[in-house]
Chains A and B, each alone.
Chain A
Amino acid sequence: MSSRPFRSDVNFVVRIGGEAGDGVISCGELFAQAAARTEYHVFTYITYPSEIRGGFSMVQIRIRDWTIYSMGSRVDYLVVFNQESYDKTISGLREGGMVIYDPDTVTPEPSETTRFFAVPLTKLARESGISGPGKNVIALGALGHLFDIDPVVLKKLIRDRFRHKGDAVVERNIKAVETGYEAGKACGWGQRFRLKADPDAKASYMMLSGNEAVALGAIAAGCRFVAGYPITPATPIFETLCRLMPKVGGKAVQMEDEIASISAIVGAAFAGEKVLTPTSGPGLQLMGEQINLASMLELPVVIVNVQRGGPSTGLPTKTEQSDLKFAIYGTAGESPRVVLAPSTVEDCFYQTIRAFNIAEIFQVPVVVLTDQSIGYRKATVRIPDFERFHFMPFHDLIEDNPVIPNPAHIDVVSRLEPTSEELADYKRFRITDSGISPISRPGTPGGQYLATGLEHTEKGHPDYTPENHQAMTSKRFRKIEVLSNLLEKNPREYYGSPEARIGIIGWGSTEGAIREARYLAEQEGVLVRHLHPKIVLPMADRRIRYFLAELKHVIVVEENYTGQFAHFIRARFGIRPIEVHKCQGLPITPREILAAILNVARISDEQSITRL
């Protein structure tokens, strides 16, 4: 049995909960940032209500001395600002865990297995005249003491964070941090870890949310035109790009709605730019017709859909993986598109670059599916090695270059333009073996053409003849076939032992939780093979069949009610997976997945026994 050591000296989870408006999130973010500037890895998970004020808000921070794959299953340290957050989260505390609470607002239930520490946040805030919202910075100071973070580091963070609000605010918050630190000292809890500042951390790591990683990936890929309309939880992508586009010589425009946003990027793509629009489910729905247009016009556009919970306005601030079917099948008529699903914060960066490359090479719309949990989660991400960046024009296909950017090799590809010979009798939609035809940039003499959503000839002229529609449909889909064949050459996307008879398939943000569940299962002697395709449409069929080949049971894990990916896998590969669905607006945890694996393993064993 090949069991992977799953042990680590520093590996703990801190959860901070309170009323929205208490500053819980910024307390958690500052703490995470302090931790990120040490030698450790950091991974956060944030959930908040959709109302601006009121409601339960929480941030969870996991700190570990090597790569973190998920938010973790159990909480080691719980910081609660009010009774509601105590009531809602205490069940997640592990045995022997610690609770830090405000005695003015929380009455904890006595427990033998829990250590309680009262830090009078409200009272201290009142006494020092900092007023309500200062509670969060007091809590930060207390946590700073608990984890032995140098007060100098904390004060620097405060200064960076509040500088734009003026000296008075900075001073008040510094005082609050000091007050909190002293209050922590008075608790006599005994410091557990030394989170010592590591000067190298800043030189080699960024602390990014998935949404920020998408924005930076777009910039790295050469995206210079963005149009968008705010929608939770995709807004931070747009906000980040609005701030950064002018810096890189690009443009960001806020439009009146999603239809206008995607129309504008279709126009800008036609004009020759690399383009993106960020949105969430309801916005993606509105964009449907224009996605089809881009597909017919064979224009490269990237749409990032940060999934949220529920249909309609549903659970706007919660996570879910439920737009998959719409992304894959949501089209009038048949129009090729590609759907990617990044699996970690770091992956958001690389898959966004890949989305642009695929869009540019194959001249198709690419939908990137992330979700609230990955979009708002923050993690330490290694700054890419700039020596590894290669900017290249369209290169003669791709034969052996599957164009997956990764930390070791970052290709940035741009579309194929016509040569002067080709311009002499320019056929924008020339039927080629690969289906890809050169695309001319406005301003190029002789490159003028008609791009129409009507079925058209190689020249772009409308043509509804039966032969032409069949030939053109085939041309457009051939690009996808070429991509799909290319994917077969990609490095394998599954992990785990070849001897395993239980397979687990997931997509998107659940990768880390599944990976941890696999390690935990292996510790219990159950071998699991894990497949996590990053490109969910099209898929590398032969590789997936190979993955499935010797498995006895396949589990598909996803955060939705109807099992959308399982449905897709079933239709495509003719297997009957065991479906594990979580539909609570919350990310699935490693232990929830482990339970499913162990269950299947037990059934599997029972079956073996009866067969004996």
Chain B
Amino acid sequence: MSRASQDYKSAVKPIWCPGCGNYGAMKALTQAFLDLDIAPESIALVSGIGCSGRMSHFFNTYSLHGTHGRAVPTALGVKAARPDLTVLAVGGDGDGLSIGGGHISHAARKNTDITYLLLDNRIYGLTKGQASPTTDFGHKTKTSPFGVDELPMDALPAFIVYDATFVARSSTVHVAELTELLKAAILHKGFSILHILTPCVTYPVFDARTLKAALQPLPEDHDRKDKMAAIVRGYSTSPVFTGIFFRTEKPTLEERLERQAQPFAPERSGDELDMLRKVLYDFS
């Protein structure tokens, strides 16, 4: 059955400002689903709160728009319960690095097989322009009227240190590259993080042109297994590299859960009541 991009589109109209980078992410994600030919009903798209968190609204998938910062553990629950689904989590820099930052290292450690899209516009968009953990030093916002006096967080090297098994960066100004990276991330078995730089047009910290000028694909010879090289290139600010920084294989949470249950499979072959009986009699 051949699908069209229309099949992935929901009836909800995007609320994003005209020119918002998030449209690029939406386009790339639609194209990735299409190219990978994933049925909309077998996709679960979980998002946090923020402009970026609205992403789940616009897809005709099983979409869950939850609470601020909790998209990743929520998506983990979906995937652990239903490994047959393609599960994605989406959130902003505030959502994923500030309020929900504590969850990322653990999702990485567990290596749950989900794809996490972190849309980094370096500002709190939905609450109208307050400083986020990635806002540039010195930048004036409503909550930093004298300029941000903290250094911005470098999320990508942190993700590598967390041992996420797939860490990549792209941007919404290069939709074709983003699409390819999204496909690779979705196909990756394990926790894949895609750090997506996206300009906010209303509370700009950077604009599309500056972003384009700063970005550069990782060198052809970048060794994706070399963690140290990945970290070093992850910290680089000129150029800001894009592409897959680090990739490795590890058993996923879902595989481990399956493996735990496996030895008991023969005992479960009877009916439900039989199984229950055995469990209860163990306490007699």
A interface residues with partner B (beta carbon < 8 Å): 202-208, 212, 216, 219-220, 224-225, 227, 244-251, 253, 255-257, 259-261, 263-273, 275, 289-290, 293, 297, 383-384, 386, 389, 391, 442-454, 459, 461-462
Contact = CB atoms under 8 A, between A and B. Distances in A.
A297 B41 CA distance: 18
B195 interface: no
Contact of A263 (B74, B81, B263): B74
Nearest to B283: A206
Contacts of A249: 261, 264-265, 268
Name the residue in B63, B70, B268 with the highest tally of chain A Cβ atoms < 10 Å from its Cβ: B70
Given A225-B77, A264-B80, 18 more contacts: A206-B283, A216-B283, A220-B280, A248-B276, A251-B261, A259-B73, A260-B103, A263-B103, A264-B74, A266-B66, A267-B46, A273-B81, A290-B70, A442-B82, A451-B65, A453-B66, A461-B57, A462-B12
A248 B275 contact: yes
B73 A264 contact: yes
Given A219-B279, A264-B80, A267-B46, A203 B74 contact: no
Given A251-B257, A251-B261, A256-B102, A442 B63 contact: no
A257 B65 contact: no
Interface string B70-85: 1001111111111011
Between A224, A289, A447, the greatest number of chain B beta carbons within 10 A of the residue's beta carbon is seen for A289
Task: Give the one of B41, B62, B275 with max A CB within 10 A.
Answer: B62
B272 interface: yes
B81 A268 contact: yes
Nearest to B109: A256
B277 interface: yes
Interface in B244-264: 253, 257, 260-261, 263-264
A309 B264 CA distance: 39
A200 to B, nearest CB: 11
B226 interface: no
Question: Which 6 pairs, one residue from A and one from B, show the smallest C-beta to C-beta distance?
Answer: A267-B77, A264-B77, A268-B81, A263-B73, A452-B65, A260-B73
Contacts of A216: 279-280, 283
Interface in B35-55: 39-42, 44, 46
A272 B81 contact: yes
Nearest to B8: A448
Contacts of A267: 46, 64, 73-81
Nearest to A389: B273
A251 B273 contact: no
A245 B268 CA distance: 12
B106 interface: yes
B10 interface: yes
B81 A391 contact: no
A427 to B, nearest CB: 12
15 contacts: A206-B284, A225-B81, A247-B264, A247-B267, A251-B80, A251-B261, A260-B106, A263-B70, A271-B85, A273-B81, A275-B81, A290-B67, A443-B82, A446-B41, A450-B12
Contact of A220 (B44, B84, B264, B276): B276
A404 B197 CA distance: 54
B11 interface: yes
B198 interface: no
B60 interface: yes
Q: Which of A205, A289, A450 has the most CB of B within 10 A?
A: A450
A310 to B, nearest CB: 26
B61 interface: yes
Contacts of B22: none
A451 B284 contact: no
Given A290-B67, A448-B40, A449-B62, A461 B12 contact: yes
A266 B41 contact: no
B281 interface: yes
B111 interface: no
Given A216-B280, A264-B73, A443 B84 contact: yes
B78 A271 contact: yes
B67 A256 contact: no
A461 B277 CA distance: 45
A443 B73 contact: no
B4 to A, nearest CB: 16
Label chain A's interface by main secondary structure.
mixed
A419 to B, nearest CB: 16
Contacts of A225: 77, 80-81
A232 B263 CA distance: 31
A24 B77 CA distance: 40
B277 A386 contact: yes
A264 B76 contact: yes
Contact of B60 (A204, A212, A448, A454): A448
A208 B282 CA distance: 11
A224 B264 CA distance: 14
B31 interface: no
Contacts of B12: 450, 461-462
B179 interface: no
B242 interface: no
B65 A271 contact: no
Interface string B210-252: 0000000000000000000000000000000000000000000
B73 A255 contact: yes
B62 A270 contact: yes
Nearest to A444: B41
Query: Which of A267, A269, A442, A459 counts the most chain B CB atoms within 10 A?
Result: A267
Contact of A271 (B40, B70, B77, B272): B77
Nearest to A201: B284
Contacts of B78: 267-268, 270-271, 442
A192 B160 CA distance: 69
Contacts of B30: none
B56 interface: yes
A383 B42 contact: no
A244 B282 CA distance: 11
Given A386-B273, A448-B63, A443 B81 contact: no
Interface string B155-166: 000000000000
Contacts of B268: 247-249
Nearest to A384: B280
A443 B42 contact: yes
Contacts of A384: 280
Nearest to B56: A450
A225 B266 CA distance: 20
B199 to A, nearest CB: 25
A249 B67 CA distance: 30
Contact of A445 (B39, B57, B102, B261): B39
Contacts of B65: 450-454
Contacts of B74: 263-264, 266-267, 270
A518 B186 CA distance: 64
B256 to A, nearest CB: 10
A139 B276 CA distance: 36
B41 A445 contact: yes
Contacts of B46: 267
Contacts of A246: 257, 260-261, 263-264
B33 to A, nearest CB: 13
B191 to A, nearest CB: 14
A425 B265 CA distance: 39
Given A216-B283, A461-B12, A270 B76 contact: no
Nearest to A203: B284
A410 to B, nearest CB: 10
B67 A293 contact: yes
Contacts of B62: 270, 442, 447-449
Interface centre among A248, A271, A446 (most CB of B within 10 A): A271
A300 to B, nearest CB: 13
A290 B66 CA distance: 8
Contacts of B80: 225, 251, 253, 264, 267-268
A207 B267 CA distance: 23
A244 to B, nearest CB: 6
A323 to B, nearest CB: 21
Given A216-B280, A383-B281, A253 B42 contact: no
